């Protein structure tokens, strides 16, 4: 087990940040109906950290996540994954980069209903035509407590179990960054705590970087840093957040909006 | 990826059913076309009367194609429907060919045996009986069962079947009718055909001289048979004969091909089948692609979320496209392969109808080879592949985030691209319509314009779908809102989802407009023809017979004092050269021969230009349709071939209007008669003198009574032309049915999938207080709106082409619409839509609402 505690293999000359956004703007619509979901946003996310993205509804946090993950292209600005500039890449190379170096967890509909738990977990590898690393696979299955469910179909799992599978899948490629969009939004507080604990473990024990969008102050308390968005702009940055501190900050933002 | 593809297919079988059905249908129709095509090319019957002759030389029953000689003529040449005569001197020339031991000729004349009841006996398989020269028995395995060969002018030898039917034996007297009044013959002998217990055709034999006399034509025979010298190779003999002849109008036949010489109907059937199959195949292919693309699009729209998730997790657009294509191909293979046995069953099922309408001889069977199967499967696979590509192109541009959110609001603005394309298409439709209105009555071009107009209109409706649905809702909303709750909800649903409504309405528009156009164009044509026939028949009496009227009858009637004018009417088909402008193909046109002197009193063809009084060997009259199709009018020369292949280049002296009821080309009677197989009239038209009506009928009846089998009537219920049109109509109705079935698949598929996707919406409604019954009522209102919009627009879309067709054919703007047919079209589409919407709704409503809310998509 000890070799998992090594830092993920990275050259010393590599970028200091896992994800970097520079003056990113994202507009939807045309003409008079233009909506600025993100307005000149610049954020740096260091390796091996757990960042929570927060803000009231309509603040642009989901858009931020999608742009940072390369799922959507910004209208202006630059997005970097490590040292690679995402905005320069065409769709297919971008996709290949994503599947090798990023993991995703969504709020719902994370799993393909036709595949078993094991097949869902190894899906990103299958897409790259790579064989799974047996020991790593064993490790994440053990950590996510899925050893007994590997042959089940998603329809036979509870919400919490499905999110565990999603996290296992996100981890299977040993990505540089894991993006999570409201991963606990549909779960009860007890199960949510388990999921957040897993994400925390991924950062602390497995040296992953996690960027999580959430509206829940309790969830944010698991993170190393909380970044606040309002009206498409960065509105605050809280290191070592506590649930109360985050809640207060959010209320302040709502009042100001 | 393969596992993923397979797993998605097997777990989501239901969503692929519609595509499977569409492909199955397509493959079935294409198999049918393939079988018909192959049958047309290979249909044959082994020779019976010619079985002993190793090589048979007969006329080639195909018009030589424009380029090249007859040997390599394309299968799409026009058939010659009358027996092509073989010059008698061919037999003389062939006697010196190396390897031939005997050369025999065969000449046939119509010869009916009059039974004891005074009526002609039907021959084997209901076909006419013929009399042949006794020497032609050398060409087949004939044995004299009793008696001796015929000698002199009053003896005849019957085949076994005829003798049994007539109840006569050697020494008895039998009454035979050839081309004049019945005469008595003594039965000199009875023959059997060795090895053929029930021959396909009944024949009897006269002496050679009598046969020549009865045939009434010098220097031509039906066929020449050669027997090879003992130990000789028939194929080599055939080659030597071909070499010696060097005449492309003659066919040198061996083996099973000899059947074509013996049975004229087998020879001419092939080309007709090929033409029918080709016409059907083209349309079927187009419609299949359209429908399969539609069903696949819908299926893939439903798998949107899965594909988006795959994209998010890292599948490249190429991987997704390959997966989608593989799924489509798997379904295509399944549907394509299954279409083959279904196609065979369909062909067997419709073979009787084909025989009834004269497309095939009733006693032959379709030729079922492997080639059509391969073709059908390949086409199904190709269609699915194409459709998958079209539908998957959009995947490249899908952002993974798009489909992961909740169902987005449909964009309310119709995209500019759509508007522009739709506008251009609408302008095109209008332009076509105006062009059709101002075009000068060339029926073929006009029907093509009408067909194109339907296509363009339907595509316009598809492109402008959301716009049209919003407009329809504006009209229909007040109707729906009369119901304060459920109708109101229905109106709101349609109002906010114009695309979904458009997807449901478009296939309805397609179905109704196509079906209506095809069916009512046909009914209009048939009605116009009937009217022309009725109006044009000026004669007071008509004489017809099942096997043809001997020309002598017309002559006899002409001499009666009570009769003012008599004309025999002989029917045939001629092949007219292509139009002078541009590369066209020769066309087969219906032809009739009448006596120009008796025309004005018996048949009014309503000449538009010129007069038909001067019909002669060098002068013909064209119908308005033929005139515009061939682009020739009064004063022009028309190169053509008569039914037996004789070339002719007469001048046009008149153009007449009643071509649809009678025939497209009118010849001088005696000219056309001489170039038909049986040289009998189809009917005889008689106009009695004024004041002699009462006695005329009795006198005519007495004359007719001398010719057994002749029927005296007051009117013509049909003509050859009408029969051909009815056969044509049947093919068109088949096509319309085909289109209806296909679009039915689309309608059902769209409605089922759209409704099934609203599971959560229904649950939400019920949790909010709406009862299940109210949800059902709401869906009924929604279906009503869909049906009204679809059937209404479809009917409107079918009007311009129908008006075009009607105006050309009848001069009226209003087409002949058979109310039952329209109700059937509207009713079927309504029933399909309603069932496809309400059944899934009922199924969905069975789930308790909370369970449905939490259901996985």
DSSP string, B180-212: SS-EEEEEEEEEEETT-SS-SS-EEEE-HHHHH
User: In terms of CA atoms, which chain B residue is nearest residue A102?
Assistant: B313
Counting other chains too, the contacts that A40-45 makes at CB distance below 8 Å and 24 or more residues apart are A40/A77, A40/A233, A41/A77, A41/A229, A41/A232, A41/A233, A41/A234, A42/A234, A43/A19, A43/A227, A43/A234, A44/A17, A44/A19, A44/A20, A45/A17, A45/A18, A45/A19, A45/A20, A45/A177, A45/A209, A45/A211
Cβ contacts (< 8 Å) between B309 and chain A: which residues?
Answer: 109-112
Q: B318: which chain A residues are within 8 Å (Cβ-Cβ)?
A: 92
How far apart are the CA of B299 and the nearest CA of chain A, in angstroms? 16
String of DSSP letters for B211-247: HHHHH--SSEESEEEEEEPTT--HHHHHHHHHHHH--
The residue among B274 and B843 whose pLDDT is bigger is B843
Subunit contact B4:A96, Cβ cutoff 8 A = no
pLDDT at position B407: 40
Separation of alpha carbons B212 and B305, rounded Å = 84
Mutation pick from B312, B406, B413 vs chain A, by most beta carbons of A within 10 Å, is: B312
Residues of chain B with C-beta less than 8 angstroms from the C-beta of A98: 312, 314
The secondary structure element, H or E, covering residue B173 is strand B173-177
Residue with the two structure tokens 């689309």: B746
Phi, psi of A221, deg, nearest 5: -65, -20
Among B14-18, B50-54, B711-715, the range scoring the smallest mean pLDDT is: B14-18
pLDDT band at B157 (very low <50, low <70, confident <90, very high): very high
Give the pairing of strands B173-177 and B183-193: antiparallel
B626 by DSSP, 3-state: which?
A: helix
Would you place residue B76 in the very low, low, confident or very high pLDDT band (cuts 50, 70, 90)?
A: low
B181 touches chain A (CB under 8 A): no
Q: Of A95, A111, A115, which is closest to B314 when you measure between CB atoms? A: A95
Closest listed residue to residue B303, CA positions, set B289, B288, B318, B323: B323
Long-range contacts of B116-122 (CB under 8 A, 24+ apart): B116/B166, B116/B167, B118/B708, B119/B708, B119/B709, B120/B177, B120/B546, B120/B547, B120/B708, B120/B709, B121/B162, B121/B165, B121/B166
Sign of CA dihedral B511, B517, B523, B525: negative
Q: Which residues contact A244 (CB under 8 A, 6 or more apart)?
A: A217
pLDDT tens, residue by residue, B413-443: 566 777 888 889 889 888 888 888 877 656 6
Cβ contact (<8 Å) for B4 and A128?
Answer: no
Nearest-CA distance from A37 to chain B in Å?
Answer: 14
B426 min Cα distance to partner chain A (Å)? 28
Question: pLDDT tens-digit profile of A90-106?
Answer: 877 888 888 888 888 88
Share of chain B above pLDDT 70, in %: 93
Q: Diameter of chain A by CA atoms?
A: 58
Give, in order, the Cα–Cα distances in Å from B316 to each of A89, B308, B321: 13, 11, 9
The closest of A120, A112, A177 to A144, measured between CA atoms, is: A120
pLDDT digits (tens, 9 = 90+) for B515-542: 898 889 888 888 888 888 889 998 888 9
Q: How far is B408 from chain A (nearest CA, A)?
A: 14
Which site among A65, A74, A112 would you substitute to test the B interface, given the most B Cβ atoms closer than 10 Å to its Cβ?
A112
Which of the listed ranges A4-18, A203-217, B110-124, B701-715 does the model predict with the highest average pLDDT?
A203-217
Q: Tell me what pLDDT residue B393 has.
A: 66
Nearest to A114 among B11, B315, B317 (CB): B11
B416 in contact with A at a CB cutoff of 8 Å? no
φ, ψ for residue B818, nearest 5 deg: -85, 115
Counted across chains A and B, CB pairs separated by less than 8 A come out at: 74
The residue of chain A with its CA nearest to that of B323 is A127
Q: How far is CA B650 from the centre of its chain?
A: 30
Q: How confident is the model at residue B296 (pLDDT cuts 50, 70, 90)?
A: confident
Kind of pairing between the strands at B155-159 and B183-193: parallel
CA distances from A226 to A63, A178, A209, B757 (A): 17, 16, 14, 39
Average pLDDT of the residues in B835-849: 88
Interface test with B, best of A57, A89, A109, A119 (most B CBs within 10 A): A109
CA distance B324 to chain A (A): 15
Q: Using CB atoms, pick whichever of B313, B404, B856 lies closest to residue A124.
A: B313
pTM attached to this predicted model: 0.75
Minimum-distance CB partner of B401 among A72, A109, A123: A72
CB atoms within 10 A of CB B441: 15
The answer to whether B319 faces chain A, any CB pair under 8 Å, is yes
CA distances from B840 to B296, B486, B729 (A): 20, 18, 38
Interchain CB contact of B851 with A (< 8 Å): no
B350-374 average pLDDT score: 84
Q: Which of A213, A181, A233 is nearest to A77 (CA)?
A: A233
Could you give the 3-state DSSP secondary structure of residue B366? coil
Determine the pLDDT at residue B740.
Answer: 81
- Is the separation of the CB atoms in B167 and B116 below 8 Å? yes
- The tokens describing B556, both together, are 């006899």
The answer, for B403 touching chain A at a CB cutoff of 8 Å, is: no
CB-nearest to A124 from B305, B314, B318 is B314
Residue A217 has pLDDT above 80, yes or no: yes
d(CA B778, CA B647): 70
Residue B577's pLDDT is 78
pLDDT at A95: 82
Q: Which tops the pLDDT comparison, A102 or B321? A: A102
User: From the CA of A62, how many Å to the nearest CA of chain B?
Assistant: 10
The tokens describing B318, both together, are 């190429």
| pLDDT tens digits along B175-206 | 999 888 889 999 999 999 988 888 899 999 99
The distance of B467 to chain A (nearest Cα, Å) reads 21
Asked whether A117 and B335 are in contact (CB, 8 A), the reply is no
Structure tokens at B619: 């002068």
Rounded-to-integer distance, Cα A182 and Cα A170, Å: 15
Strands B203-206 and B130-133: parallel
Higher pLDDT, B411 or A70: A70
A5: confidence class by pLDDT, cuts 50, 70, 90:
very low
Average pLDDT, chain B: 84
- pLDDT of A97 reads 86
Average pLDDT over residues B660-669: 92
CB contact B311 to A (< 8 Å): yes
> How far away is chain A from the Cα of B8, in angstroms, using its nearest Cα?
6
Q: State whether residue B854 sits within 8 Å of chain A by CB.
A: no
pLDDT band at B637 (very low <50, low <70, confident <90, very high): very high
Q: Are B803 and B813 in contact (CB under 8 A)?
A: yes
Q: Which among A92, A94, A49, A107 is positioned nearest to A68, based on CA atoms? A: A94
Q: Provide, as residue numbers in chain B, all residues whose Cβ is less than 8 Å from the Cβ of A110.
A: 309
Confidence grade of residue A196 (pLDDT, cut at 50, 70, 90):
very high
- Give the pLDDT of residue B51: 92
Tell me the per-residue pLDDT of B706-761, one tens digit each, with 9 for 90 and over: 888 888 888 777 777 788 888 888 888 887 887 788 888 888 888 888 888 888 78
Interval B462-477: pLDDT, tens: 788 788 888 888 888 8
> What is the mean pLDDT of the segment spanning B139-165?
92
**Region B15-37: what's the mean pLDDT?**
86
Q: Is the pLDDT of residue A7 over 50?
A: no
Q: What are the φ/ψ torsions at residue B394 (nearest 5 degrees)?
A: -70, -20
Nearest to B7 among A71, A104, A114 (CB): A114
Q: Which residues of A26-47 are buried (b: 16+ CB within 10 A; e: fewer)?
A: beeeeeeeeebbbbebebebeb
Interface test with B, best of A38, A65, A95, A159 (most B CBs within 10 A): A95
* Region for residue B246 given its phi and psi (left: phi exceeds 0; alpha: psi -120 to 50; beta: otherwise): left
Greatest Cα pair distance, chain B, in angstroms, is 103
């Amino acid at each position: 087990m000890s070799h998992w505690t090594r830092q993920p293999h990275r050259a010393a000359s590599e970028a200091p940040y896992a994800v970097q956004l520079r003056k990113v703007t994202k507009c939807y619509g045309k003409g008079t109906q233009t909506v600025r979901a993100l307005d000149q946003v610049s954020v740096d996310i260091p390796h091996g950290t757990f960042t929570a993205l927060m803000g009231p509804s309509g603040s642009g946090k989901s858009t931020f996540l999608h742009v940072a993950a390369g799922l959507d292209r910004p209208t202006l600005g630059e997005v970097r994954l490590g040292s690679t500039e995402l905005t320069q890449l065409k769709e297919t190379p971008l996709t290949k980069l994503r599947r090798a170096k990023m993991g995703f967890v969504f709020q719902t509909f994370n799993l393909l209903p036709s595949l078993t738990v094991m097949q869902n977990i190894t899906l990103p590898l299958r897409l790259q035509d790579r064989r799974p690393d047996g020991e790593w696979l064993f490790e994440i299955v053990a950590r996510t407590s899925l050893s007994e469910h590997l042959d089940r179909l998603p329809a036979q799992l509870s919400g919490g179990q499905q999110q565990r599978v999603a996290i296992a899948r996100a981890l299977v490629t040993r990505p540089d960054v894991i993006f999570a969009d409201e991963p606990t939004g549909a779960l009860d507080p007890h199960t949510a705590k388990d999921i957040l604990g897993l994400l925390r473990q991924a950062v602390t024990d497995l040296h992953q970087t996690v960027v999580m969008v959430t509206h829940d102050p309790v969830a944010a308390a698991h993170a190393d840093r909380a970044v606040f968005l309002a009206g498409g702009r960065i509105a605050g940055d809280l290191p070592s957040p506590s649930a109360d501190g985050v809640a207060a900050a959010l209320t302040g933002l709502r009042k100001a909006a | 990826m393969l596992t993923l593809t397979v797993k998605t297919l097997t777990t989501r079988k239901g969503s692929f059913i519609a595509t499977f059905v569409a492909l199955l249908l397509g493959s079935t129709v294409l198999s049918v076309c393939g079988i018909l095509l192959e049958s047309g090319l290979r249909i044959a019957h082994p020779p019976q009367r010619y079985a002993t002759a190793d090589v048979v030389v007969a006329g080639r029953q195909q018009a030589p194609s424009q380029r090249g000689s007859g040997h390599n003529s394309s299968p799409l040449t026009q058939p010659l429907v009358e027996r092509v005569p073989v010059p008698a001197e061919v037999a003389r020339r062939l006697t010196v060919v190396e390897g031939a031991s005997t050369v025999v000729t065969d000449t046939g004349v119509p010869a009916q045996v009059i039974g004891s009841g005074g009526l002609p006996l039907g021959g084997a398989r209901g076909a006419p009986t013929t009399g042949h020269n006794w020497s032609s028995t050398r060409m087949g395995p004939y044995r004299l069962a009793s008696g001796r060969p015929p000698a002199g002018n009053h003896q005849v030898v019957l085949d076994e079947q005829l003798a049994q039917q007539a109840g006569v034996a050697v020494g008895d007297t039998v009454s035979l009718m050839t081309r004049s009044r019945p005469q008595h013959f003594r039965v000199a002998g009875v023959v059997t055909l060795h090895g053929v217990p029930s021959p396909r055709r009944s024949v009897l034999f006269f002496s050679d001289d009598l046969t020549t006399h009865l045939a009434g034509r010098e220097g031509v025979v039906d066929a020449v048979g050669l027997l090879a010298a003992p130990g000789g190779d028939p194929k080599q003999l055939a080659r030597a004969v071909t070499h010696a002849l060097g005449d492309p109008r003659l066919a040198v036949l061996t083996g099973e091909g000899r059947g074509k010489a013996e049975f004229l109907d087998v020879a001419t059937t092939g080309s007709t089948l090929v033409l029918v199959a080709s016409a059907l195949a083209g349309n079927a292919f187009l419609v299949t692609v359209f429908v399969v693309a539609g069903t696949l699009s819908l299926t893939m729209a439903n798998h949107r979320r899965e594909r988006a998730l795959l994209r998010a997790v890292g599948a490249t657009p190429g991987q997704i496209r390959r997966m989608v294509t593989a799924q489509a191909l798997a379904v295509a293979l399944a549907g394509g392969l299954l279409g083959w046995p279904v196609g065979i069953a369909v062909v067997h099922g419709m073979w009787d109808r084909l025989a009834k309408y004269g497309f095939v001889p009733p006693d032959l069977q379709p030729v079922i080879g492997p080639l059509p199967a391969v073709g059908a499967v390949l086409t199904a696979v190709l269609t699915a592949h194409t459709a998958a590509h079209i539908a998957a192109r959009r995947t490249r541009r899908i952002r993974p985030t798009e489909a992961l959110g909740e169902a987005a609001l449909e964009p309310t603005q119709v995209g500019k691209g759509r508007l522009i394309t739709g506008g251009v298409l609408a302008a095109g439709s209008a332009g076509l319509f105006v062009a059709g209105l101002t075009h000068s009555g060339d029926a073929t071009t006009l029907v093509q314009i009408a067909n194109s107009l339907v296509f363009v209109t339907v595509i316009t409706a598809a492109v402008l779908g959301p716009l049209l649905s919003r407009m329809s809702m504006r009209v229909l909303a007040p109707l729906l809102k009369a119901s304060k709750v459920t109708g109101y909800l229905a109106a709101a649903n349609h109002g906010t989802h114009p695309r979904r409504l458009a997807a449901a309405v478009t296939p309805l528009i397609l179905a109704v407009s196509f079906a209506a156009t095809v069916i009512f164009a046909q009914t209009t044509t048939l009605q116009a023809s009937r009217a022309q026939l009725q109006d044009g028949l000026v004669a007071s009496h008509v004489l017809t017979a099942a096997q043809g009227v001997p020309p002598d009858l017309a002559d006899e009637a002409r001499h009666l004092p009570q009769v003012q004018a008599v004309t025999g009417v002989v029917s045939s088909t001629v092949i007219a050269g292509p139009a002078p402008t541009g590369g066209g193909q020769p066309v087969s046109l219906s032809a009739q021969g009448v006596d120009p002197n008796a025309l004005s009193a018996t048949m009014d063809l309503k000449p538009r230009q010129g007069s038909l009084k001067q019909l002669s060997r060098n002068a013909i009259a064209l119908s308005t349709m033929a005139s515009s199709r061939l682009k020739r009018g009064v004063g022009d020369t028309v190169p053509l071939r008569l039914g037996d292949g004789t070339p002719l280049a007469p001048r046009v002296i008149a153009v007449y209007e009643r071509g649809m009821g009678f025939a497209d080309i009118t010849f001088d009677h005696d000219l056309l008669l001489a170039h038909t197989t049986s040289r009998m009239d189809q009917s005889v038209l008689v106009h009695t003198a004024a004041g002699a009506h009462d006695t005329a009928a009795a006198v005519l009846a007495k004359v007719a009574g001398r010719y057994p089998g002749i029927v005296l009537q007051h009117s013509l219920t049909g003509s050859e032309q009408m029969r051909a049109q009815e056969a044509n109509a049947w093919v068109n109705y088949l096509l319309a049915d085909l289109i209806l079935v296909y679009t039915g698949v689309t309608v059902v598929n769209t409605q089922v999938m759209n409704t099934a996707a609203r599971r959560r919406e229904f649950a939400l409604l019920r949790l909010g207080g709406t009862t299940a019954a109210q949800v059902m009522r709401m869906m009924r209102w929604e279906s009503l709106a869909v049906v009204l919009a679809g059937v209404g627009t479809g009917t409107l879309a079918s009007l311009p082409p129908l008006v075009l067709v009607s105006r050309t054919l009848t001069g009226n703007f209003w087409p002949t619409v058979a109310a039952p047919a329209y109700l059937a079209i509207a009713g079927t589409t309504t029933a399909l839509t309603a069932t496809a919407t309400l059944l899934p709704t009922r199924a969905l409503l069975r789930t308790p609402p909370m369970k449905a809310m939490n259901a996985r998509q």
